[in-house]
C-alpha cells in the first residue's frame, strides 16, 4: 500500500484508512510456542479463516510443511488457558487435539494417530521420557461433573496407558526430565495462590519401575514464585525465581541454590499458559536469555560462572518466547515497526532469518503510529508511577484540523497481570489511522516491572488499575494532546472490569467497550473454573472479608451510577466470564435509558478467534463511538443496534 499524494481534510475519527477490520482479521496470524528439533523449526499458527483453528508448522531447510491439516486443532484446555499443547522429540511430534482432548503422535513420515482415548482428561506441557518410551504430562481430569478437576503429573505410555506420578497438589506444571533420564523436576502450587504469587520447585529421582522416589523441595513457597525449570546439557537444574523481588535466574549446584545474575529485570513472565520459554542453553557455559527492563525486552548472553550479561543486538523490543539450539535461537518477537514474527536468529552473526510473520501485508509507514513510552503520577496523591504506551493519530493521507484535538481511547489489558507491549498491532493501528489517539496502559499489577509493581494490585483490583487508566487520560488531556470531551475506554476480560469500574465510579470517560468483561466479582467466584477460583482472594480480599468489597466494587451492584454509553461483546461459549455477566449490565442500561449496544457471538469463548468475529466487533465498536460522538448521520446503515440513542437503529 502507498500513502495518498494529496492529503485531505477529515474530522478525527473519520479519517479514511487502508486498515479495515477485514485487514486486521486477515492480517493477524497468531504465532506461538516455537520449538527446535535439530535444525528443524516448529511453531503454532492460528487460522482465523478456519474458525480459529490452530495448526502446527515445520520449517526444514526451504520446505514449510503443515503437519496438522484440518480438522486438527493443536490446543490444550488445561487451566482453560492452555499452552504447552505439543512437543517435538527426535522427529516425533506429540500434540493435544482440542476437539477430543486426546494426545496424538505424528511419527516421521506418518499422519497423526491417537495415543489416548476420548474421556474426561485433558493434557498439557509434555516431556519425552525416551528411556521408558513414554510421555510425562500435566493431566487435568474432569471425571466428576460439577466438581473441580483433579490435576496430576502423569506418565502416558505409547499404548495410552496412564500412570500417575505425582498427586495431592492443586496444580502442576513444567515436568522437566534430566538429560540422563534419572531425575524429574516440576512445579506445583495450591489454592488460594496463583502461580505468580507462590510456587514450589520439586526434584525427584526416578525409580527403576518408572515411579518417583520421595521428592525434595528445591525452591519456592507461598511468597516465592518459581517458573521455567530447565536442565543444562551437563544436568544442572536451572530455574527463575522472584525471591529478590525480580524474576532472576538461579541454579542448583552442589545442593545449594545460586543466583546467576542479580538484576532489576524480569527473566520470567506470569504462568497463564504452559511451556513459555525465556532462556535456553547454547552450551554448559553459555545461556541465551531474554529479559524485560523498563517494559522493553532485551536479548543477552549470560555466563553461569561469572554472572556476566552481554547484550546481543537484535531488532525486537518485545520477545515473547525464546528457544535455543544448534547455535541459533528461535525468537518470537516484535517492535513498534515490526509485527509479531518468528525468526531463526543466528547467534554467531546476530542476524535474524524470518520464518513467519503475523502480518504479511503492512500499510505504508505513513499510516503506522509509533508509540511513546510514558510514565505519569497516579493514585490519590500521585504517590505511584504508572506506565503506558501512547500512540498518536497517524495517517499520511489526512491533514489534521489544527483547531481540534483527537479522541482518546484508553486500553486496560487483560490478566490482570498481563503486560501491554509496543509490538506493532493492526488492531491498534485500526484506531490511530482513523484519527484516534490510543493509550495502552500497564497499570499497577502488570508484569514486567518487578514483584512490587505486580503486587500493587493486591486487594486493589478495580481501584489501582482504574486509577492508572483515569490518571493516564487526565495526563494526556492536561498536556493538550487529546480532547477531554471525547475520552473512551475499552478492555477485555479483567480489562473489562477496569472499563466498567472507570465508567461507573469516575466521571472521566464518555463511553466504553467491554469485551467479555467481569462485572460481578461474586458471580465470577461462583462461575469460575478451578485455576482462577481463588484469585479474587488476592485481588480483592480473603473470605469472608471479600463480601463487602464485592458489593462495593462490582459494577453490577451500582448500575444506577453507570450513565455513560457502552457497547458489550460476549462469546456465548465463554467458560471464564459467562454471558450472564454482560447480560445483566446490558439489561440495566436499557432499563435506565442509557445508550447501549450488545453483540453476542456463537462459537466463541473467552477471546475471539474467528475472522468474522474480529471484523464484526471492530466495525461495531467504531460505529458505536462515531454515533455517540455525533460523527455519523442517522441515514448511515447500522452496523449494530444501539438502544436508547435517538435516531439509532
Quick check: 530 pLDDT over 90?
yes
Mean pLDDT (whole number) for 264-274 = 96
Three-class SS of residue 538? helix
Closest CA relative to residue 73, chosen from 97, 46, 48, 93: 97
- Out of 243, 271, 299, pick the residue that ends a domain: 271
* Residue 83 belongs to a domain: yes
Virtual torsion, Cα 550, 553, 557, 562, nearest 10 deg: -170
State the Cα–Cα distance between residues 649 and 647, nearest whole angstrom.
7
**DSSP for residue 555:** G
pLDDT value of position 647: 64
What is the C-alpha to C-alpha distance for residues 180 and 235, in angstroms, rounded to an integer? 7
At 269 the pLDDT is 96
Mean pLDDT of 574-586: 89
| Predicted local confidence at residue 649, as pLDDT | 47
Domain boundary among 360, 375, 396: 360
Query: Which tens digits make up the pLDDT trace of 144-195?
Result: 998 999 999 999 999 999 999 999 999 999 999 999 999 999 999 999 999 9
Determine, yes or no, domain membership for 643: no
Measured distance CA(570)–CA(564) in Å, rounded = 19
Among 87, 84, 89, 85, CA closest to 99: 85
3-state DSSP assignment of residue 8:
strand
> Is the separation of the CB atoms in 408 and 487 below 8 Å?
yes
C-alpha grid cell, residue 374: 510514558
Q: Residue 634 has what pLDDT?
A: 65
Greater pLDDT, 250 or 365: 250
Question: Considering the chain, what percentage of its residues have pLDDT values greater than 90?
Answer: 83
Is the pLDDT score of 12 beyond 60? Answer: yes
Listed in sequence order, the residues at least 6 apart from 366 whose beta carbon sits closer than 8 Å to its beta carbon are 3, 394, 395, 396, 397
Strands (E), 6-80: 8-9, 31-37, 40-47, 53-60, 63-66
Mean pLDDT (whole number) for 438-457: 96
Residue 183 lies in a domain: yes
Question: Is the residue at 23 inside a domain?
Answer: no
CA distance 649 to 633: 12
| Residue 554, CA distances (Å) to 278, 500, 526, 551 in order | 36, 9, 14, 6
Predicted local distance difference test score (pLDDT) of residue 114: 97
Q: Which three cell numbers stand for residue 503?
A: 465508567
Is 18 domain-assigned?
no
96 pLDDT more than 90: yes
Q: Which of 385-399, 531-545, 595-609 has the highest mean pLDDT?
A: 385-399
Q: Where are the beta strands (DSSP E) in 432-565?
A: 437-442, 487-492, 511-515
Residue 250 lies inside a defined structural domain of this protein: yes
| 55 and 199 share one domain | yes
pLDDT digits (tens, 9 = 90+) for 323-347: 998 789 999 999 999 999 999 999 8
Residue 512's nearest CA partner among 522, 520, 523, 504 is: 504
Residue 398 has pLDDT above 90, yes or no: yes
Q: 633 versus 277: which is more confidently predicted?
A: 277
pLDDT band at 28 (very low <50, low <70, confident <90, very high): low
Mean pLDDT for the stretch of residues 577-600: 94
Domain shared by 232 and 380, yes or no:
no
**Residue matched to cell numbers 478525527:** 12
Closest CA to 498 of 476, 523, 515, 522: 515
> CA nearest 13: which of 440, 513, 627?
627
HSE-up of residue 579 (Cα within 13 Å, Cβ side):
13
- With 50 as the cut, is the pLDDT of residue 1 above it? no
Cell of 192: 488460594
552 CB-near residues (< 8 Å, 6+ apart): none
Torsion of CA 173, 74, 88, 297, to 10 degrees: -60
Claim to verify: residue 64 and residue 170 sit in the same structural domain: yes
Secondary structure of 263-309 in the HEC alphabet?
CCCECCCCCCCECCCCEEEEECCEEEEEEEECCEEEEEEECCCCCCE
What average pLDDT does range 29-48 have in this prediction?
93
In whole angstroms, give the CA distance from residue 532 to residue 537.
10
Q: Under a CB-based contact definition with an 8 Å cutoff, are residues 97 and 86 in contact?
A: no
Identify which has the larger pLDDT, 41 or 285: 41
* Grid cell for residue 175: 515436568
Q: Please check whether residue 6 is in contact with residue 17, taking contact to mean a CB–CB distance below 8 angstroms.
A: no
Decide which of 227, 247, 271 is a domain's last residue: 271
Gyration radius of the chain over CA positions: 25
Domains identified in the chain, total number? 3
**Nearest residue to 582 (alpha-carbon basis) of 527, 491, 517:** 517
Q: So what's the pLDDT on residue 15?
A: 95
33: left (phi over 0), alpha (psi -120 to 50) or beta: left
Nearest Cα to 320, choosing from 303, 299, 345? 299
Which domain CATH number covers 548?
3.40.50.1820
Average pLDDT taken over every residue of the chain: 93
Q: According to the model, what pLDDT value does residue 132 have?
A: 97
Q: Which of 300-309, 428-437, 456-465, 634-643 has the lowest average pLDDT?
A: 634-643
Q: What residue numbers bound the domain in which 415 lies?
A: 363-628
User: What are 350-364's pLDDT values in tens digits?
Assistant: 888 999 999 888 888
Same domain, 180 and 241: yes
- Measured in residues, the chain has a length of 649
In this structure, the answer to whether residues 356 and 452 fall within a common structural domain is no
Contact call for residues 459 and 540 (beta carbons, < 8 A): yes
Do 548 and 439 lie in one domain? The reply is: yes
On whether both 242 and 378 belong to a single domain, the answer is: no
Is the pLDDT at 449 greater than 80? The verdict is yes
- What's the pLDDT band for 4 if we cut at 50, 70, 90? very low
Query: How many angstroms separate the CA atoms of 360 and 365, rounded?
Result: 14
Q: Are strands 384-391 and 171-177 parallel, antiparallel or unpaired?
A: unpaired
Residue 5: pLDDT over 80: no
387 lies in the same domain as 345: no
Quote the CA–CA distance of 555 and 581 in Å, as a whole number. 10
Structural domain includes residue 505: yes
Return d(Cα 150, Cα 111) in angstroms, integer: 31
CATH of the domain at 241: 2.120.10.30
Tell whether 302 is covered by a domain: yes
Together in a domain, 237 and 328: no
* Closest of 514, 612, 438 to residue 25, by C-alpha: 612
Are residues 446 and 490 located together in one domain of the fold? Answer: yes
Q: Span 532-546, mean pLDDT?
A: 91
Same-domain check for residues 318 and 367: no
Grid coordinates 477460583 are at which residue?
A: 533
When pLDDT is averaged across residues 97-109 and rounded to a whole number, the result is 97
Give exposure, 303-336, as e/b (b: 16+ Cβ within 10 Å). ebeeeebeeeebebbbbbbbbbbbebbbbbbbbb
Same domain, yes or no: 434 and 575: yes
Between CA 218 and CA 224 the distance in angstroms is 12
Q: Are 516 and 527 in contact (CB under 8 A)?
A: no
Compute CA 108 distance to the chain's CA centroid, rounded to the nearest angstrom.
32
Per-residue confidence at 432, pLDDT binned at 50, 70, 90? very high
Distance of CA 350 to the CA centre of its chain: 28
Provide mean pLDDT across the span 285-308: 94
Query: Is the Cβ–Cβ distance between 224 and 243 less than 8 Å?
Result: yes
Residue 232 CB-half CA count within 13 A: 21
Please report, for the domain that includes residue 351, its CATH number: 2.40.10
SS3 state at 404 = coil
Amino acid at each position: 500500500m502507498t500513502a495518498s499524494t494529496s492529503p485531505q481534510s477529515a474530522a478525527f475519527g473519520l479519517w479514511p484508512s487502508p486498515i479495515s477490520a477485514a485487514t486486521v482479521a486477515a492480517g493477524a496470524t497468531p504465532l506461538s510456542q516455537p520449538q527446535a528439533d535439530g535444525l528443524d523449526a516448529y511453531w503454532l499458527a492460528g487460522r482465523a479463516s478456519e474458525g480459529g483453528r490452530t495448526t502446527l508448522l515445520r520449517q526444514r531447510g526451504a520446505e514449510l510443511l503443515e503437519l496438522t491439516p484440518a480438522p486438527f486443532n493443536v490446543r490444550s484446555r488445561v487451566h482453560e488457558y492452555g499452552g504447552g499443547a505439543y512437543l517435538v522429540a527426535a522427529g516425533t511430534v506429540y500434540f493435544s487435539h482440542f476437539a477430543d482432548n486426546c494426545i496424538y503422535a505424528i511419527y516421521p513420515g506418518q499422519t497423526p494417530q491417537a495415543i489416548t482415548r476420548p474421556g474426561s482428561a485433558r493434557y498439557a506441557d509434555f516431556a519425552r521420557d525416551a528411556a521408558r518410551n513414554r510421555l510425562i504430562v500435566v493431566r487435568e481430569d474432569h471425571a466428576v461433573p460439577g466438581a473441580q478437576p483433579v490435576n496430576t503429573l502423569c506418565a502416558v505410555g505409547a499404548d495410552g496407558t496412564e500412570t500417575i506420578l505425582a498427586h495431592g497438589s492443586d496444580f502442576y506444571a513444567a515436568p522437566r526430565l534430566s538429560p540422563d533420564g534419572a531425575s524429574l523436576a516440576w512445579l506445583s502450587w495450591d489454592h488460594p495462590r496463583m502461580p505468580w504469587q507462590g510456587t514450589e520447585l520439586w526434584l525427584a529421582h526416578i525409580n527403576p519401575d518408572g515411579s518417583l522416589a520421595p521428592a525434595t523441595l528445591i525452591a519456592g513457597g507461598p511468597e516465592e514464585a518459581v517458573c521455567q525449570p530447565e536442565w543444562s546439557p551437563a544436568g544442572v537444574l536451572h530455574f527463575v525465581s522472584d525471591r529478590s523481588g525480580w524474576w532472576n535466574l538461579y541454579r542448583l549446584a552442589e545442593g545449594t541454590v545460586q543466583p546467576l545474575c542479580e538484576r532489576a529485570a524480569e527473566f520470567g513472565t506470569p504462568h497463564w499458559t504452559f511451556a513459555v520459554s525465556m532462556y535456553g542453553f547454547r552450551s554448559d557455559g553459555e545461556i541465551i536469555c531474554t529479559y524485560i527492563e523498563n517494559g522493553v525486552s532485551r536479548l543477552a548472553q549470560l555466563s553461569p560462572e561469572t554472572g556476566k550479561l552481554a547484550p546481543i543486538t537484535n531488532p525486537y523490543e518485545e520477545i515473547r518466547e525464546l528457544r535455543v539450539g544448534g547455535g541459533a535461537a528461535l525468537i518470537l518477537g516484535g517492535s513498534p515497526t515490526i509485527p509479531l514474527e518468528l525468526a531463526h536468529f543466528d547467534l554467531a552473526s546476530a542476524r535474524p532469518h524470518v520464518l513467519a510473520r503475523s502480518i504479511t501485508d503492512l500499510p505504508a509507514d505513513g499510516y503506522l503510529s509509533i508509540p511513546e513510552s510514558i510514565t505519569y503520577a497516579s493514585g490519590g496523591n500521585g504517590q505511584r508511577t504508572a506506565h503506558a504506551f501512547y500512540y498518536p493519530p497517524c495517517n499520511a493521507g489526512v491533514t489534521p484540523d489544527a483547531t481540534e484535538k483527537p479522541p482518546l481511547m484508553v486500553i486496560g489489558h487483560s490478566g490482570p497481570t498481563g503486560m501491554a507491549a509496543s509490538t506493532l498491532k493492526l488492531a491498534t493501528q485500526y484506531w490511530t489511522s482513523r484519527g484516534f489517539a490510543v493509550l495502552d496502559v500497564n497499570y499497577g499489577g502488570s508484569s514486567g516491572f518487578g514483584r512490587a509493581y505486580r503486587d500493587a494490585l493486591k486487594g486493589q483490583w478495580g481501584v489501582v488499575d482504574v486509577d492508572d487508566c483515569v490518571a493516564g487520560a487526565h495526563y494526556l488531556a492536561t498536556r493538550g494532546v487529546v480532547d477531554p470531551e471525547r475520552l473512551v475506554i475499552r478492555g477485555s476480560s479483567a480489562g473489562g472490569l477496569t472499563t466498567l469500574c472507570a465508567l461507573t465510579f469516575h466521571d472521566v470517560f464518555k463511553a466504553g467497550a467491554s469485551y467479555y468483561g467481569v462485572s460481578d466479582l461474586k458471580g465470577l467466584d461462583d462461575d469460575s473454573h478451578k485455576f482462577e477460583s481463588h484469585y479474587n482472594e488476592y485481588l480483592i480480599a480473603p473470605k469472608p472479608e471479600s463480601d463487602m468489597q464485592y458489593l462495593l466494587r462490582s459494577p453490577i451492584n451500582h448500575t444506577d451510577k453507570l450513565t455513560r454509553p457502552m457497547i458489550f461483546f460476549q462469546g456465548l461459549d465463554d467458560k471464564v466470564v459467562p454471558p450472564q455477566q454482560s447480560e445483566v449490565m446490558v439489561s440495566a442500561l436499557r432499563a435506565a435509558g442509557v445508550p447501549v449496544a450488545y453483540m453476542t457471538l456463537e462459537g466463541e469463548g473467552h477471546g475471539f478467534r474467528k475472522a468474522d468475529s474480529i471484523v464484526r466487533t471492530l466495525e461495531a465498536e467504531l460505529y458505536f463511538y462515531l454515533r455517540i460522538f455525533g460523527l455519523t448521520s442517522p441515514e448511515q446503515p447500522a452496523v449494530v443496534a444501539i438502544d436508547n440513542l435517538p435516531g439509532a437503529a
